[in-house]
Amino acid sequence: MSSGIDLQGSFIQLLTDSGLPIGVAKTVWIPLPMLIIVAAVTVLALVSTWLERKVSAAAQQRIGPEYMGPFGLLAPAADVIKLLFKENMLPAKTDPWLFAIAPLMVFIPVFLSYLIVPFGQNMVITDLNIGIFLWIALSSIAPVGLLMAGYASNNKYSLLGGLRAAAQSISYEIPLSLSVLAIVMMSNSLSTIDIVNQQSGYGILSWNIWRQPIGFLIFWIAALAECERMPFDLPEAEEELVAGYQTEYGAVKFMLFYAGSYANLVLSALLVAVLYLGGWESPIPVSWLASLIGVSESTPWLQVIAASLGIVMTLFKAYLMIFLAVLLRWTVPRVRIDQLLDLGWKFLLPVSLVNLLLTAALKLSFPVAFGG
């Protein structure tokens, strides 16, 4: 395995060569990837709102956004500008503090979780040892924010929506964690980098989706429920609850909820790509192609191409999953709340437990294929 290009190492090397002490060089480096990721995530979330519009239009045989820029690409920008310039109002008898903090409680954990999403061997903010567990822990903060929004709004629909959202998010966290646990068991590590490296070697054949098909389905269903996407968007069921916990929100605070939900969708899709679809690995391994045309893996231009290909591959896989999610949204009807909880507790939970046991058994009996 080649280590690929190491931007952090080269950047710090450059600064120390020009006479800075190593501590200062590292301090200069730290904010750069964070800023890049925050900007990139915002753009990715905006792109997915545009995709949502275009794909839903295609699903309903409409044209969709057309006049705002080429192919309506500027529609998300128009959304953002509109929401930024709207009056920031506080409905009567709300709790001003909790009302303002709630969107942040939903928004910040999502953006913090991007810490562990890798785009390449060294293209990650931090290769934390607890990796994927950090995401599970951070995503459990969101229900607190939802309950806060529901309580602070002084509106019974908001309160019901907040309670529903929190209940849903708690019940689908368990199958989600259990299916992640099966992957962790196979790769012997919680770190996302190790999980991807364990899937490399034979290109598309070594991806986890072939070894964990049940886990993949459970993960995707549970992730959709966590993001409150269509078959499971009960907290916002408009014919019952107006808009759930978002009812009283407008302007920038609403934008935080909205951006948070799309950033969460992108995050889930990226993690599906990392956990099950081989992360930044391309279907045909780059190293194999390189040896075929007789180029050394440490050639600089090859490393640049491999790194860019890694980013493109991760994003391509993630957006494939988002496309699937949008199609699902416009295809399947919404489930009822009792069906939702039945599905989570009585079906997904036992199935994911069985999947975990099966993985453990297979790991013991076929250590070669299941990471012994």
Partner 1 sequence: MNLADGVQLVSFGILALMMIGAALGVVLLSNIVYSAFLLGLVFISMSGLYILLNAGFVAAAQILIYVGAVSVLILFGIMLVNKREDYVPVPNAWIGTVATASVCAGLFALLSAMVLATPWAISSAVPVGDGAVVVIGKHFFTDFLLPFELASVLLLMALVGAIVLARRDFFPEQTEEDQLVLPERPRELVSGGQK
Cβ partners under 8 Å of residue 239, min gap 6: none
Task: Classify residue 249 by its DSSP letter.
Answer: -
Which residue, 144 or 327, has its beta carbon nearer to partner 1? Answer: 144
DSSP H/E element including 360:
helix 349-365
Which of 170, 205, 295, 369 is close enough to bind partner 1 by CB under 8 A?
A: 170
Q: In the bound complex, what is the minimum distance in angstroms from residue 91's beta carbon to partner 1?
A: 18
Instruction: Report the residue number, 47 or 144, with the smaller CB distance to partner 1.
Output: 144
Query: Does residue 133 touch partner 1 according to CB under 8 A?
Result: yes
Residue type at 178 in one-letter notation:
L
Query: Cα angle vertex 19, ends 16, 20, to 5°?
Result: 60
Q: Nearest distance from residue 350's CB to partner 1, in Å?
A: 15
Nearer to partner 1, 23 or 294 (CB): 23
CA 113 to chain centre: 8
Smaller CB separation from partner 1, 16 or 140: 140
**CA-CA distance, 317 to 308, in Å (whole number)?**
14
Distance of CA 370 to the CA centre of its chain: 25
- The nearer residue to partner 1, 166 or 275, going by C-beta atoms, is 166
190 or 271: CB nearest partner 1: 190
Nearest distance from residue 169's CB to partner 1, in Å? 9
Cα 198 to Cα 122: distance, rounded to the nearest angstrom = 16
183 forms part of the interface with partner 1 (CB under 8 A): no
Q: How far apart are CA 216 and CA 208, in angstroms?
A: 8
Specify the DSSP element, H or E, that contains 293.
none
Query: Minimum CB separation from partner 1 for residue 232, in Å?
Result: 18
CB of 152 vs partner 1, minimal distance in Å = 9
- Contact predicate 280/313, CB 8 Å: yes
Q: Are 318 and 48 in contact (CB under 8 A)?
A: no
Token pair in block for residue 17: 């060569």
Write the interaction track for partner 1 spanning residues 257-296; mark x where CB under 8 A is met and - where it is not: ----------------------------------------
Q: Which of 3, 10, 88, 129 binds partner 1 (CB under 8 A)?
A: 129
134 forms part of the interface with partner 1 (CB under 8 A): yes
Q: Which two three-digit tokens encode residue 348? A: 């997904």
Region of 44-52, 73-81, 123-131, 314-322 interacting with partner 1 (CB under 8 A)? 123-131
Identity of the residue numbered 77: A
Q: Closest by alpha carbon to 363, among 158, 212, 178, 156?
A: 212
> Which amino acid, residue 235?
P
Structural tokens at position 220:
């995707």
Under the binding rule (CB under 8 A), the answer on residue 27 touching partner 1 is yes
Q: Rule CB under 8 A: is residue 23 a binding residue for partner 1?
A: yes
Give the binding range for partner 1 (CB under 8 A) out of 5-13, 35-43, 127-135, 305-313: 127-135
- Contact assessment for residue 100 and residue 261, using Cβ atoms and an 8 Å cutoff: no
345 binding partner 1? (CB under 8 A): no
Per CB under 8 A, does 128 bind partner 1? yes
Q: Is 99 near partner 1 (CB under 8 A)?
A: no
DSSP 355: H
Crossing angle of the two packed helices 300-329 and 213-226, in degrees rounded to 10: 70
The residue from 98, 100, 104, 125 that contacts partner 1 (CB under 8 A) is 98
CA dihedral 7, 133, 44, 327 (to 10 degrees): 140
Q: Tell the smallest beta-carbon distance from residue 147 to partner 1 (Å).
A: 5
- Using CB under 8 A as the binding rule, the residues of this chain from 138 to 167 that contact partner 1 are 138, 140-141, 143-144, 147-148, 150-151, 159, 163, 166-167
- Alpha-carbon distance 287 to 71, whole Å? 37
Closer to partner 1 by Cβ: residue 314 or 359: 359
Residues near partner 1 (CB under 8 A) are 23-24, 27, 98, 128-130, 133-134, 136-138, 140-141, 143-144, 147-148, 150-151, 159, 163, 166-167, 170, 173, 190
